[in-house]
Amino acid sequence: MEKLSRRSFSRLWAASLAGSAAAGAGEAIPTRRLGKINFQAGILGLGAQRIGEPSATQAVADRVVGEAIDGGLNYIDTAPTYELSEERLGKALAGKRDKVFLVTKVQTLARSDVLAQIRASLRRLGTDHVDAVLIHNVGRDDRYPEVRYALRDEGTLGGLREAKKQGMTRFIGCTSHMRPARTLAFFETDEMDLFMCTLNFVERHIYNYEEKVLPEARRRNIAIVGMKVLGGPVSGPGARLGSAEDRQAALRYVWSLPGVAVAIVGMRTPEEVQQNLATARNFTPLDAAEMNRLLLRGKEIASAWGPLRGPVA
């Protein structure tokens, strides 16, 4: 593979900005079907963790959510562990709930705790249902020390089944940040509708969900959602693809992967929303040469990052 020089990388970034001259602020972003789910999702999703941080405000959350929806974004991801995210998101979605595919998460082994966590999330979100609930980070063996128990009727999966039966959620799935192979046991139940995992051109060389897990998700027609597309967040300062060039290339990389429906990005400000919406509107897939150069650069960065989210196996 050709080494990606700064000049070549700048050309790659510039290519991501190129698009139809008609592409304007009001143009809709591209959409893709969520696997087996009959929903056309915008390729850019809002990760609502950042609007839940103590330094954020409800006013900013309202603008971030409002401008994202006005720009065509219709997939929003949150979790009860994201500080004030659910509360702020619920207020920001007042009058707009029907415009988005809303996702939250649970993290427990016990069926009864699953139901309690979802009920609490619904109260904070100000809604009677979410569109999907995901089992949060199934790669963690401290959280799910026994995968087989999590899949039993008295375990996590049993709680999600009951939540669907009661109309609290329409779909279920799981997320994974580490130990990719653990995910396959959840797929084997044939009950996963969505799967969200770490996808970026650096961690392709660390966790490699792209080759270890995504082929099976595609085979089962499970909706694939990419997260951590810019690297962070991780504990401490962490690794992050922070430059404008990196952000453009990272999003193009994820959207160029076969089967990926949505790339989730945590956005703190309306300015970030507009930047990422523009990238989505102007998206063009990486060609083979661009992909090879980007992966070579990612391999170089990966040696510095290491397994920043936890064990690989």
Res. 10 pLDDT band, cuts 50 70 90:
very low
Over residues 5-12, the mean pLDDT reads 41
Per the structure block, which two tokens stand in for 194? 């969505």
pLDDT at 239: 74
Q: Which helix (H) or strand (E) holds 225?
A: strand 223-227
Q: Report helix, strand or coil for 93.
A: coil
User: How deeply is 142 buried, as exposed, middle or buried, from its count of CB atoms within 10 A (0-12, 13-18, 19+)?
Assistant: exposed
Res. 235 pLDDT band, cuts 50 70 90:
low
Are residues 45 and 72 in contact, defined by beta-carbon separation less than 8 angstroms? no
What whole-number distance in Å separates Cα of residue 141 and Cα of residue 150? 11
Encode pLDDT of 251-298 as tens digits.
Answer: 999 999 999 999 999 999 999 999 999 999 999 999 999 999 999 999
Bin 126: left if φ > 0, else alpha if -120 < ψ < 50, else beta.
left
pLDDT at 220: 98
CB atoms closer than 10 angstroms to residue 153: 10
Quick check: 306 pLDDT over 50?
yes
Separation in Å, CA 227 to CA 61, 106, 254, 264, 265: 20, 17, 9, 5, 7
Quick check: 25 pLDDT over 60?
no
What whole-number distance in Å separates Cα of residue 7 and Cα of residue 14? 11
Give the bridge partners for 262, in sequence order. 225
Are residues 153 and 112 in contact, defined by beta-carbon separation less than 8 angstroms? no
Res. 236 pLDDT band, cuts 50 70 90:
low
Over residues 198-214, the mean pLDDT reads 98
Q: Report helix, strand or coil for 28.
A: coil
In 123-210, DSSP assigns E strands to 130-135, 169-176, 194-198
Q: Which helix (H) or strand (E) holds 275?
A: helix 270-281
CB atoms closer than 10 angstroms to residue 244: 12
Over residues 114-140, the mean pLDDT reads 98
pLDDT at 18: 39
Res. 11 pLDDT band, cuts 50 70 90:
very low
Res. 179 pLDDT band, cuts 50 70 90:
very high
Encode pLDDT of 47-80 as tens digits.
Answer: 999 999 999 999 999 999 999 999 999 999 999 9
Q: What percent of the chain has pLDDT over 90?
A: 87
Q: What percent of the chain has pLDDT over 70?
A: 90
pLDDT at 233: 75
**Mean pLDDT over the full length of the chain:** 91
Are residues 178 and 311 in contact, defined by beta-carbon separation less than 8 angstroms? yes
The full set of domain ranges for the chain reads 6-16+40-233+247-304
pLDDT at 242: 82
Bin 95: left if φ > 0, else alpha if -120 < ψ < 50, else beta.
left
pLDDT at 200: 98
Locus of tokens 């008295």: 154
What fold characterizes domain 6-16+40-233+247-304?
TIM Barrel (3.20.20)
Encode pLDDT of 34-44 as tens digits.
Answer: 999 999 999 99
Look at 240 and 106; give whichever has higher pLDDT: 106
Quick check: 240 pLDDT over 90?
no
